[in-house]
């Protein structure tokens, strides 16, 4: 099995153990917040039939289809592909299990997704998403819009990650406004407005002209897209544009209510702002839409979502939903890759039990067992080397404590050098030392 | 989007929310044990280049290759496939990152694997494995054999699952014995002995004859395979067969030591026994081998592993390892499917805050916030229905407590009917109610 050193696969990020511990701490924290809000965990299968995956059309060329390597002839494709998001599996799962679910159905899923894209900074072929959604049966109160916003705000506010600005708009507001200025095809205009951040206003002005908007309509659309604010004042700005339409009024009222309900969850780490240029390219959004950004990730959003009045339907029953999807890999991998996010240990161990000599191994094993029984992650030194070497073993792995068996036992904090007598039946480290700590640096 | 109800995909198991909570409790508990022993988490990518996957040859027809749906012509295959176990990725990861890892390298991974097999009871196309391995650099002390046994024993003993019997043998012992009776191709004999449980002794006797063994050799091999015992007495039985060989002696001594070191971890839920018919078909095992069984799963093993003296090599350095792989899906999915393992809730919520009227919503949200801030999973009733309906909402989901805002607030345990005054700043449920509880039934 003598072979050359393998190289990483582009678009399939992997971490070293201390980095993986950081990813896991983040995922555990997200999960804890989601569960505190009553969201149930789902782990949908990784594959869907191709007709489920291709329902949205536009993403079809990103799908990885599974083929059995040694399947015969025409039977090669399995007819299934890897999911590229967690919304398609959710819609299918709800239709498949509707009779056995309780609505409103709150679920989170933190799972891997795959896209056969050309990899580049922030785009991966394999990546983890963390989604929260609330699904109703035929109806879903407007209150759910604010709820998912608050859940994501709390989840991200607890973590020492770059501050997120969640920009919020409402499709009904925007559609109503477009209708009010006499635009026939609001979807095409929204698709152009969605390009504002990347293409700039001049380019979008041309696009809107090419769609047949007259200059006054174009300027109104651009003016709406400029509206931004962290409180209800944005509504006055919209009204000041002088457009009137019942759908606009309804959307404005929904968005104002969602912003008000989400306001208490705003923090230094997570700001919720109305930003009416947020359109989200996807057809199925029908109400509130969000997109979250961090300064560290430029113009690429780290979370996104919105309301869809028909996530799924079985003909008789329609399942409206609202949700937010956080790009865990997109958020973390660049930080980890640049050394801005890590943990202080390569192992979960809090204590290394030193081994004075080979005969002491059973007694040392018993010390380790006693510490573990009280929730303290412990490993045993592999060999009865001299103590200086055993201390270096701990140091290289970031293990904070070394335990020396004796009469009495002693425990040394290798960071401070402090050494004190200790009993494995009662000694505990400070709570912050029990698990690896997240270590962050500001981007320079 | 009106479509027919989707049907499950054979071989890709999925769970309802209360069932998924059971799977997650089991995985969390495994993880906690692995980390208490100092094993670091890895999450390797899901794919490997085909040459990594096909190195073992025999499994090649089970591999799912990824193909980009809309790739052009000959470029269709991506050259990568989904991993079918967690050992191949570990071997590749160690070679790729050796210079950045600390040895002995203890890692666990709990991840999904895929095989393009025909699905049947206990065989899945997508399944979760939980692996623990210790990897050395050029050398790995024999002590590691017992260590991984103890870790898996403790991990499984903590869980209310069917008792596991871990059957242990040693390749060197068996090879030495075969050499001692004059057998030229021990690997072929081991492959036949490995079929004893399924094919029976008479069929295996014929296979051994067909391999060219004379009747005396055949009977010696079958006699060795019958040796079984939970203490060191098994060694006397082996010696009583009268075969002598230095490799046999070394293997016997290793296995005796491993059994002695693992003995304290044996429990009603996890018995470790020497069983010399355990051979493990795979070539790369070179020392201890294990296979674990439960009565509930018949002759299909639920965990397996062993020692490999060359998990990986880069020419200069060899990485020996020892590990055990637990089939999480294989163990849990049949129990969950037959209703023998579940949790008592469809949601993580411990408390439902009842909504007396729409105006009370902000105050109710604040109660929920206070409870969550103290780690109590809480959801808010969706509508100000009459209280009987709100209680049924909680009951249908298995939420144990309903909170009624008032002067003072009251909290009702809906299982006992007890209702008491309570303050959201200080009330706590019993610890066992904080999270969904595992509910098990014996197989009938």
Say whether B339 sits in a helix, a strand or coil. coil
CA–CA distance, B321 with B141 (Å, rounded to integer): 10
pLDDT by residue (tens digit) across A424-439? 999 999 999 999 999 9
| Residue carrying structure tokens 């996010």 | A341
Chain A positions in Cβ-Cβ contact with residue B98 (cut-off 8 Å): 5
| A21 at interface of B, judged by CB pairs closer than 8 A | yes
What is the average pLDDT across A209-228? 96
Res A283 pLDDT > 80: no
What's the token pair of residue A113?
């997704």
| Per-residue confidence (pLDDT) for residue B1, from 0 to 100 | 46
Q: Is the pTM of this model over 0.90?
A: yes
Say whether B409 sits in a helix, a strand or coil. coil
| Per-residue confidence (pLDDT) for residue A1, from 0 to 100 | 46
Res A152 pLDDT > 50: yes
Closest CA to A94 of A146, A37, A52: A52
| Per-residue confidence (pLDDT) for residue B56, from 0 to 100 | 65
Chain B positions in Cβ-Cβ contact with residue A66 (cut-off 8 Å): 64-67, 82, 114, 116
DSSP B120-178: BTTB-SEEEEEEEEEE-BSB--THHHHHHHHHHHHHHHTS-S--EEEEEEEHHHHHHHH
User: Which residues are bridge partners to A51 per DSSP?
Assistant: none
| A315 at interface of B, judged by CB pairs closer than 8 A | yes
Chain B positions in Cβ-Cβ contact with residue A11 (cut-off 8 Å): none
B-proximal residues of A, 248-307, CB under 8 Å:
261
| Higher-scoring residue by pLDDT: A5, A174 | A174
* B381: nearest CA partner in chain A: A104
How many C-beta neighbours within 10 Å does residue A8 have?
A: 11
Interface probe for B, chosen from A7, A23, A52, A68 (most Cβ of B below 10 Å), is A68
| Per-residue confidence (pLDDT) for residue A227, from 0 to 100 | 96
Tell me the nearest-neighbour CA distance from A146 into chain B, angstroms. 12
Query: Who contacts A171 (Cβ-Cβ below 8 Å, separation ≥6)?
Result: A190, A251, A279, A285, A286, A287, A288, A289, A306, A307
| Per-residue confidence (pLDDT) for residue A212, from 0 to 100 | 94
Q: What is the mean pLDDT of chain A?
A: 92
Q: Name the pLDDT band for A56 (thresholds 50, 70, 90).
A: low
> Are B93 and A14 inside 8 Å of each other by CB?
yes
Alpha helices in B163-263 (DSSP H): 171-180, 186-193, 196-199, 201-210, 215-225, 233-240, 246-262
Pick from A14, A40, A69: CB nearest B45? A14
Q: Name the pLDDT band for A2 (thresholds 50, 70, 90).
A: very low
| Per-residue confidence (pLDDT) for residue A231, from 0 to 100 | 80
| Residue carrying structure tokens 């303290």 | A376
CA–CA distance, A273 with A234 (Å, rounded to integer): 9
- The ipTM (two decimal places) reads 0.95
List of chain B residues with pLDDT < 70? 1-3, 56-61, 72-77, 281-283, 443-444
What's the token pair of residue A227?
């509206």
Say whether B293 sits in a helix, a strand or coil. strand
| Higher-scoring residue by pLDDT: A314, A48 | A48
| Higher-scoring residue by pLDDT: A98, B1 | A98
> Are B314 and A4 inside 8 Å of each other by CB?
yes
Chain A positions in Cβ-Cβ contact with residue B153 (cut-off 8 Å): none
How many C-beta neighbours within 10 Å does residue A35 have?
A: 22
| B57 at interface of A, judged by CB pairs closer than 8 A | no
Burial class (CB in 10 A: 0-12, 13-18, 19+), A305: buried
> Are residues A177 and A245 in contact, defined by beta-carbon separation less than 8 angstroms?
yes
pLDDT by residue (tens digit) across A105-149? 999 999 999 998 877 777 899 999 999 999 999 999 888 998 999
């Amino acid at each position: 099995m003598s072979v050359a050193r393998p190289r990483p696969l582009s678009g399939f990020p992997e971490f070293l153990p201390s980095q993986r511990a950081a990813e896991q701490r983040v995922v555990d924290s997200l999960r804890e917040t989601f569960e505190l809000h009553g969201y149930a965990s789902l782990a949908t299968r990784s594959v869907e039939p191709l007709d489920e995956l291709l329902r949205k059309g536009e993403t079809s060329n990103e799908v990885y289809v599974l083929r059995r390597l040694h399947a015969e002839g025409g039977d090669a494709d399995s007819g299934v592909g890897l999911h590229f998001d967690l919304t398609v599996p959710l819609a299918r799962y709800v239709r498949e299990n509707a009779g056995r679910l309780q609505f409103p159905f709150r679920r989170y899923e933190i799972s891997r997704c795959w896209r056969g894209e050309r990899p580049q900074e922030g785009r991966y072929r394999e990546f983890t998403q963390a989604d929260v959604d609330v699904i109703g049966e035929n109806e879903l109160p407007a209150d759910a819009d604010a709820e998912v916003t608050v859940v994501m705000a709390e989840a991200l506010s607890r973590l020492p990650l770059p501050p997120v600005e969640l920009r919020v708009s409402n499709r009904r507001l925007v559609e109503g406004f477009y209708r009010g200025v006499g635009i026939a095809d609001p979807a095409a205009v929204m698709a152009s407005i969605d390009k504002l951040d990347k293409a700039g206003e001049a380019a979008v002005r041309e696009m809107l002209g090419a769609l047949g908007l007259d200059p006054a309509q174009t300027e109104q659309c651009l003016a709406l897209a400029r509206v931004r604010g962290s409180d209800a004042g944005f509504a006055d700005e919209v009204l000041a544009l002088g457009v009137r339409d019942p759908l606009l009024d309804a959307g404005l009222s929904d968005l104002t209510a969602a912003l008000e309900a989400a306001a208490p969850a705003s923090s230094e780490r997570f700001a919720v702002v109305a930003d009416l240029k947020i359109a989200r390219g996807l057809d199925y959004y029908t109400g509130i839409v969000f997109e979250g950004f961090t300064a560290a990730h430029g113009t690429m959003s780290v979370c996104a979502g919105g309301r869809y009045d028909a996530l799924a339907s079985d003909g008789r029953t329609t399942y409206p939903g609202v949700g937010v999807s956080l790009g865990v890999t997109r958020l973390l991998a660049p930080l980890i890759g640049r050394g801005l996010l890590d943990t202080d240990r390569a192992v979960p161990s809090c204590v290394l039990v030193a081994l004075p000599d080979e005969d002491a191994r059973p007694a040392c094993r018993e010390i380790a067992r006693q510490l573990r029984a009280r929730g303290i992650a412990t490993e045993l030194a592999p060999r009865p080397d001299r103590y200086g070497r055993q201390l270096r073993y701990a140091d290289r792995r970031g293990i904070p404590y070394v335990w020396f068996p004796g009469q009495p036992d002693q425990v040394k904090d290798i960071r401070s050098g402090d050494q004190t007598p200790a009993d494995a039946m009662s000694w505990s480290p400070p709570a912050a030392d029990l698990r690896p700590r997240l270590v962050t640096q500001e981007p320079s």
